[in-house]
Chain A
Amino acid sequence: MSVMKRTAASEQPRLTARTFLEPALYLAPFLIGIIIFTLYPFVNVILISLKENYKLLTGEFSTIGFKNYAQVIQDPNFLNGLKNTGLYVLFVVPISTVISLLFANLLNSVKKLQGLFQTAYFLPMVTSVMAIGLVWKWMFNYDYGLINFGLSLLGVAPINWLNNPLYNLTALVIYGVWSMLPFTIILLLAGLQNVNPLYYVTARADGAKAPMIFFRITLPLLAPTIGLTLIINMIYASQVFSELFPLFNGRPGSAYSLYTVVYYLFDAFYVKWKLGYAAASAVILFLIVLTLTGIQLFIQRKWRNY
């Protein structure tokens, strides 16, 4: 960060043909892609959300207003999606972060077999939601699935994970936690590796026990990384959607009761062609994520000052 400050503080070059042309050429391929496929669609989706009866291909619409929003927030499917997405984030993000903290800490402390363990822990990162989701669907199978077999060994009656709506969300959360672990562990491990080892040496010399070292040294020093991890995971988890395709054959749960916000968006856009609804739900999702990120950053700043 010091490097950035230095260059920012140094005198700004004046705008001449040379100072403009060369950077512009280097940036052009990148910026053209961002403008066409990120910036413009972002602005446009906000505009679409305000247009009633918007037609995608002709661009026609009847009036401008907030009617799409009014319709969307009354739609039971959207409210269902909001509830499920909220529950999913609420369970998956904290659970995966706590588990990742444990494993990242252990991965950072062992001397031998590090490469082997890292490979094992990061492996789920490579997988497509579709392919490994199918494997989970197979493991969740009621009659021959491995999970119910494991439960039967513990004397638990088989659970109809995927066809009983009561357990759909639980199945989704289990799969979600598993798939979120690798990236979370990588982020936390990277944070841990930047902690000065001298702190640990000193603490140990003073006779501090492992739990004390973890709560008094590791956790406070890692707080900024944990905060960042929580934000990234929350943004990612709030977009939960593709997982429904392998697990429930593309339906939102076995009884259409497991809508998520993004599933609602997809359904409104691609299946029902209600573009205004799709756009409005996208904007609502964005505003929620933005607010939560803001709150989290605020808390983090307070905490760090404390």
Chain B
Amino acid sequence: MKTIKRFLPYLILAIGAIIMVFPFFWMVISSLKTAAEVNTTPPTFWPANPVFQNYSYAFSKTPFPIYFRNSVIITLACVTLTLITTILASFAFSRLKFPGRDLLFSTLLALMMIPFEMLIITNYRTIVNWKLLDNLLALIIPFTSSIFYTYILRNFFLSIPDSLYYSARVDGASNWKYLWRIMVPIARPALATIALLNAITCWNSFLWTLMVTNTPENRTLPFGLYAFMNSAGIRYERLMAAATIVIIPMIVLFILFRRNIVTGVSRGGLKG
């Protein structure tokens, strides 16, 4: 009885974990099957003869290499720019004193409630006016400031003791030096969380890409996948190979940085 009680949580967790991971497993398994094997009943849970032709099809017969390159470019650009604006703003909101600081910060928090879809009409016009339609810059420029990440990082900065700041100032360090030499290195776990969440968002962005790009040269992976779905018809083995290509890079990043997420969120001030 005692052992059952001890192992029950593990059993429930294991069943749940299998359900969570199963779609990924099924995606990869299906991508390694031939067209004939994909459409069999009952389904096979391991490919009889794993084939890689679906991947070579995606990379040679479709613009997936271009999509991949574009996704990498916009993700790197978005994450870098967002980190810079977030670090600078969080420093001002946590360490510098200026009139109206807390009022400004609360106003920004209220803006966080606005759904992105509400903004697309005007943002679309801005992009048209700036002549950036069907240009990779249109996928980067609107996404360089994030209130949510600034909120997380500002709270993390506030948890760094004041004494550190004053001793650095006594030693003659300017605010600028203090920020980059001391605060940023200390905040590395929070920054890793922000970079990871931001990379996932940029990499997966779909709706906006659908609206502001219209040639394959400027599409990113999710929209490329959608175009592929509409043109390739119902060839699930190929679609699953393409989906795997879209998902794998983020899974790798995620496994590398997962450790930071829970601590990042809990220290980032969701303490109720």
Contact = CB atoms under 8 A, between A and B. Distances in A.
A110 B17 CA distance: 14
B262 A285 contact: no
A57 B122 CA distance: 10
Contacts of B43: 144, 146, 149
A226 to B, nearest CB: 9
B92 A23 contact: yes
A124 interface: yes
A129 B204 contact: yes
A290 B118 CA distance: 13
Given A135-B243, A242-B207, A246-B226, A42 B99 contact: no
Contacts of B86: 30
Contact of B98 (A1, A23, A136): A23
Interface in A102-150: 102-103, 106-107, 109-110, 112-113, 115-132, 134-136, 138-139, 141, 143-144, 146, 149
B119 to A, nearest CB: 4
A122 B254 contact: yes
A54 to B, nearest CB: 10
Contacts of B223: 130
A166 B48 CA distance: 36
Contact of A42 (B40, B119, B251): B119
Nearest to A47: B122
Interface residues of A, number: 107
Contacts of B184: none
Interface residues of B, number: 95
B229 A249 contact: yes
Interface stretch (A62-70, A197-205, A262-270): A262-270
B97 A13 contact: yes
A262 B222 contact: no
Interface in B114-168: 114-126, 128, 141-145, 147, 150, 158-159
B270 A225 contact: yes
Contacts of A119: 254-255, 258
Given A130-B246, A228-B272, A246-B226, A123 B118 contact: no
Given A117-B13, A128-B222, A143 B96 contact: no
Main secondary structure of the interface of B (DSSP, over half): helix
B206 A107 contact: no
Contacts of A132: 23-24, 27, 243, 247
Contacts of A144: 38-41, 43, 236
B150 A13 contact: no
A37 B247 contact: no
A143 B40 CA distance: 9
B114 A38 contact: yes
B262 A29 contact: no
Which of B19, B26, B27 has the most C-beta atoms of chain A within 10 angstroms of its own C-beta? B27
B186 interface: no
Given A106-B13, A190-B270, A193-B262, A127 B206 contact: no
Interface in B186-235: 200, 203-204, 206-207, 211, 221-223, 225-226, 229-230
A262 B272 contact: no
A42 B111 contact: yes
A290 B43 CA distance: 47
Contacts of B203: 128
Interface string A233-261: 00100110110011001100000000000
B265 A187 contact: yes
Interface in B97-119: 97-99, 101-102, 108, 111, 113-119
Given A117-B17, A118-B258, 10 more contacts: A10-B97, A34-B147, A107-B13, A115-B259, A116-B17, A130-B226, A238-B115, A269-B121, A275-B121, A285-B115
15 contacts: A19-B98, A20-B98, A23-B92, A29-B84, A34-B145, A36-B126, A42-B111, A106-B9, A121-B17, A126-B247, A128-B222, A130-B222, A134-B229, A225-B270, A293-B113
